[in-house]
A and B are shown apart, each in its own frame.
Chain A
Amino acid sequence: MQFGIFTVGDVTIDPTNGIEPTEHERIKAMLTIAQKAEEVGLDVFATGEHHNPPFVPSSPTTMLGYLAAKTERIILSTSTTLITTNDPVKIAEDYAMLQHIADGRVDLMMGRGNTGPVYPWFGKDIREGIPLAIENYALLRRLWDEDVVNWQGKFRTPLQGFTSTPRPLDGVAPFVWHGSIRSPEIAEQAAYYGDGFFANNIFWPKEHYMQLIGYYRQRFEHYGHGTAAEAIVGLGGQAFMRKNSQDAVNEFRPYFDNAPVYGHGPSLEDFTAQTPLAVGSPQQVIDRYASMRDSFGDYQRQLFLMDHAGLPLKIVLEQLDILGEEVVPALRKEFAKNRPANVPDGPTHASLLAARSAQQSAPSEIQENAQANVAGGAK
């Protein structure tokens, strides 16, 4: 089980004092937060990708490349990488490069993005959002998995004899998560490739995601990657903690009330009842997240949103101390209890390498059949 944080990268006024960080301050804060995440023992840092104010992270691999040099252990990831408006060829190159620089501590999450004008700004049509995501990802997959690619599709210039460089580290592509809020097509594609499915459930009630994750698990099994329980699931989360729960509520309320997305809407109390947002003592947060597996099954990755809505860096770092020192160790113990042996851990470069060598030393029936067919065809 992997625990980490994901950041939206918003520049938001601190509603308690009216201070708005500069873009430079916010970017530097994100770098500090990522390194703090490693220091307090978290497993993953993931950054969003945005191309409009008030968000700063338009260039994730630049940021993650810096962090690769500054960290030693933490997995560097995204939340999300826009598979609709980015050229899949550039994604293949950028993230393979990052993978080498970070010695394999890289994975990424595909997403469509939720800002309409980004599509036309990058020359795309938002009405084609899903077809773009599906076709682009299918191409990305081939660029990593095949050395020489001939390809023709609807949305991009054809490729003849193209080799994406550098080739993925050790011949194993970065693990891919597919983020989705509601589209069955995305869950279907994640299942087809045996990739991970990340349900960013932080703004929605769990019932919706129980259905969507259930669907992905079922299709994962259908496509022969393992049982439904072995599918690779990630969840979002959001917490604010203080020793006394009422202190947490009082301190977080102005940030909640003025937050982008849900601010000036439901009350903090309603929102915590209806979404995974947990505001209270560390033990309350532990209890809340320990119960996630009851709804979604045993899963592989839990990411928390900790640094949005104008929270100053100092408070975010305090929150990360509590998260890393109190909450995550307790959750690791909770999640290890009665976890079935066949449920995989969160994927890493090492686990993907091991899986590949296991597969190569014991060819599956399907591969044998495929080889037999090739041999038959050559006669």
Chain B
Amino acid sequence: MFNPQYLLALSFFGTLVSAFLSLLWSARASSRIALSSLAFFSFLGIVAAGYVVFGGQTVLSLPSFFPPLAFFFSTTSGLDRLGAIFFLLLNLCAFFSALFGMTYMPRHAYLHHARSVGFFFAVTLFALDGALLSTSLIGFLFFSELAVLSSFALVVRDGGAVPRSHAYQYFVTHQFSASALAAGFFLLANGAVLGSFGSLALMEHELSPLRLFAACGLLFLGFAARAGLVPFHGWLLSVDKDAPTYVLPLLSLGSTLSAFYGVLRSMVFLLENPPLAIGAAFIILGLFTAVFGALLLSIEEGMKEALSYDTVKNTGLVFAFFGAALIGARFSLPTLANASLFAAFLVFVSHTFVKSGLLLGSGVIALQTRTDSLEGMGGLARRMPRFSVVFGVLALCAAALPPSGAFLGASGFAEGALSDIHAVPSQFGILLGIAFALFFLVNGLTFFGMVKVFAMAFLGRPSSLGAENAVEPDLGYFAPIACLALLAVAAGLFAPELFSRIGANTHFATDAFSGPRSTIVFLGIVVVVVILRMFFTSPKKVRMQSPWNGGEALTPRMEYTATAFGSPLRFFFRFLLTFHRRRVMVSTPLLSTNPWFTVKAFRRETDPSWKKIIAPYLLGAKGLFLRMLAGLQSGNVQTYVAMMLLTLSACILLAL
């Protein structure tokens, strides 16, 4: 039997090898070779992680091969179940992306710098894997930083102004996160930076509550920025727009998944007595992000933008569940903690598959319709029926409808939390109650948004030439997306069994309805209805008849467009959206001589209103800072001597 340690090492270093493989040949050949090798090695990683997660093997460790690696990976432990779950998810995402890329890149190698994209993609995967494998703090931070750098290179690849600004936004947010994480770990480890997560657990009891609170707060900020909670969500929106399609899933999901892993590793599974305020902060900020993301998902008209907001919303939900788990741990309520973690796991597992599938699918659509806006699509279900079914399955899974994992997570959380909710003190009980209500509101808004995305993209009449002439995508594009859809549905149907296989405590979930059984009952009813219909009515009486067109040729503009579809929701939540892109009336005069003849049009602003509000203050602050800097650089020798003296005295004071 294969030793899974070898598989793991092979997979990990093989990823690095495929990075260098992509630099060697011409663009088209290199993309084929590098991506196929990356697919192979990530498949090995999937198998190895599968051994750990389901096979009962608890630890795989790399330094047993190569002792100097102990600096990064620490000798005490290797890949345990928690890390293996994330390893599995990341490699699944990368595997299917690489499969997709094997068809995509050779045809579009002229559009992108195939070699550098392949190199940085593999390095990103390598770094993310390394962050999961290393249980030492230094290793975790190092590999996270490496992932940030290679993702930055991926986003900035061709040097245009817009990708550069997006890349800088990504870079700055992640650097902020890295520094907050470093400071938090430093505080938590009480100065012992060369420790590992295990040593952090030992340290916890020695820290004063204030220090613990500060450390947890810094860690919270760091992971929130890395995951994309609300003040720091900008990078998620911008990163989904620029890179070639097959890179996109790993770019957004890799960072979020490593943030979730970090929270679980350093706070949820580590601390026995987490500070209450941190748990409350998780819940409050998480829910705010979730509502924000769900609302904007429903009103955006660009498919990739809507999907980015879907990630923002899921990140918020996962963080809120982590907060509930922290509160459960604090008040010693194991059912609440287990239920929250169950829900959190299901949300991000299902989201990984769904988002990867939807992103790859939106790339396929964008290839044919040449547009990212929902208003330029339409009628694709008739042109690509097989693909539309797969996309529909993914969209319904994203909307937390019955067969999907997010739905099961919601029910499991409701079950588990209800049984414990009386034991929570009153103010947190209120918080949890409001969290419940907002959680289900978020699910409702996502439902609206995903139905809108699927319906406007695939149903109705085609709105553009590309949509009219769309063709069924090839098997190379279709197969990875179909596999991801199957995984998404399976994650929902078989989650309780899988969870019990890995030893988690999920009795509350299995007490509820059984996913597979209700699905079978429902499908049985559909079959019965089909039979009854064929029995009672004659299928021959069918006539094609076009809907009423008002006397003119029915154009797609006569249908409800994507903007119109979302307008009831925009109206309903108009108070929450005051600082979002408002609707302004643009009137341009027709004649220079007479200002009264104007053409008026309603446009939505391209930037949110809050940017316009704070822009003057930011500019003023920037000007002030530059003036101060110029003053310091005045060329006056005394200024420099004074600065040197100040620095010296500060160093002496700190050293003493």
Q: Real complex partners, A and B? A: no
The chain B residues found within 8 Å of chain A, CB to CB, are none
The chain A residues found within 8 Å of chain B, CB to CB, are none
